[in-house]
Structure 1
């Protein structure tokens, strides 16, 4: 029970942090969580991303992709 409460607290903090980002970024973050959960057979621990992981997802979305002409 304690583990579940801890996990829920982590999820809440992650969601609060996500609210700081644009809706498109939030969608990308949620997509990453969905992918991560599928790969982990929907284990509840896979439903949390760290602040660093979230920032990395957002950074990858906004960094320009090199396209040779």
Structure 2
């Protein structure tokens, strides 16, 4: 998994989301049992990370984390 995805996964779990890694390397994000975002395991398109982050933000994810 990409190092940026690892940071995002830790932040998601810290904010109460459930993160599951598929056997193909995709990161599924759940909130209250409902899937809210899917992150590609190896994003080849630079927009894929931004699109997935926007899906997670709509579900209440705060990124970048505030200090």
Determine if the TM-score, normalized by the shorter chain, exceeds 0.5. Answer: no
Give the structure with the larger strand fraction.
Answer: 2
TM-score, length-normalised on structure 2?
A: 0.35
| Larger Rg, first or second structure (1 or 2) | 1
TM-score, length-normalised on structure 1?
A: 0.34
Greater RCO (Cα-Cα under 8 Å, separation 6 or more)? 1
